[in-house]
Amino acid sequence: MNDKNASGLAICAAFVTMAIICFEAAVAQQQTFSRSHFNNYVSHLAADSDVTSCYRSGYGAHEWLVYDLATARNISGLKISGVLHTANIRIGNFFANIGVGDGFGDNGLCYFTDNTDGYYDTMGQHTLKCPNPINGRYVSVQMVDPVIVNQLVICDIKTI
């Protein structure tokens, strides 16, 4: 190979590397955090838009997941898929908070279920409507004294 071709390849390689770095930075903007996870079912699986891969918390009374949307936006509710293993079973006592602070106490309450509601449709999806739209960057779901299960399982979470 002559020097002219070698320098052309070096420029292309540098461009490809830069494009990959830029793409990775754009993808990495949204993040998830959790109190714990079970085996390899880590928190980012709740926000990967794939309902066949799910986040599973460890077993505990106050398991939580936080989804960082990277930028604040007006949110009127959430669509959560696969919170439970079986559709048409309810999960009791969980909060969904939304706001610009990265802590639970900093953000407004969007939704709370107290064992009398929270049924899922046959696809295992639950739509949580906030009483009023909330401007927020952080979405958190936290179980409090679980009724039927003590493991938080979220296959997909989206803002509406």
CA distance 113 to 90: 9
Classified as helix, coil or strand, 73 is: strand
- On the question of pLDDT at 64 being above 80, the answer is yes
To the nearest whole percent, how much of the chain has pLDDT over 70?
64
> What CA–CA distance (Å, rounded) separates 59 from 34?
12
Give the residue extent of every domain in the chain.
30-159
d(CA 33, CA 17): 28
What does pTM read for this prediction? Answer: 0.71
Percent of the chain beyond pLDDT 90? Answer: 26
Q: Which tens digits make up the pLDDT trace of 36-50?
A: 778 888 889 999 998
Confidence band (pLDDT; 50, 70, 90) for 86? very low
Q: Give, in order, the Cα–Cα distances in Å from 136 to each of 28, 44, 74, 81, 115.
A: 19, 19, 6, 21, 26
CATH of domain 30-159: 2.60.120.260
